Amino acid sequence: MTNQKHSFKILLVDDEPNILLALDFLMSQQGYQVARASSGEEALQLLPDYKPDLVILDVMMPGMDGFEVAMKIRTSEESNDLSIIFLTAKGTAEDKLKGYGSGGEVYVTKPFDNDDLVRTVNEIFEHK
């Protein structure tokens, strides 16, 4: 499995530059290809050309929130095989239900444990 990691692409979406940098470093260390977007609109623009296998998506962003982005991703033709992980400070049961309802497969609350997030990402890719 390790030699295949380089073929998996992750799109990171968060309006906090420090979170993007940390996630980029974390996922790059695992051998994944990484692209970053600082807004939902930017993520949707990158999606068709970058064709990620996984989107790690914040919820609370200016403009379009992560739930809206996930719903738009799920209605696009290119997203059939795409996985979505929500990574957010919004952790109520209602938020989680909304996340799963909008197309997320995993819902992780901030602050998050790096090892747990890496394990979650690796598990998603083991099933692809």
Task: Evaluate whether 55 touches 102 at the Cβ level (below 8 Å).
Answer: no
What residues does each domain of the chain span?
2-126
* CATH fold of 2-126: Rossmann fold (3.40.50)
The number of C-alpha atoms within 13 Å of 91 and in the hemisphere containing its C-beta is 8
List pLDDT tens digits, range 70-109: 999 999 877 778 999 999 999 999 999 999 999 999 999 9
| Helix (H), strand (E) at residue 55 | strand 54-57
Judged against a pLDDT cut of 80, whether residue 37 lies above it is answered with yes
What's the rounded Cα separation, in Å, for the pair 120 and 6?
A: 17
pLDDT at 56: 98
CA atoms within 13 A on the CB side of 113: 4
User: Model confidence over 2-29: pLDDT tens digits?
Assistant: 445 668 999 999 999 999 999 999 999 9
pTM over 0.85: yes
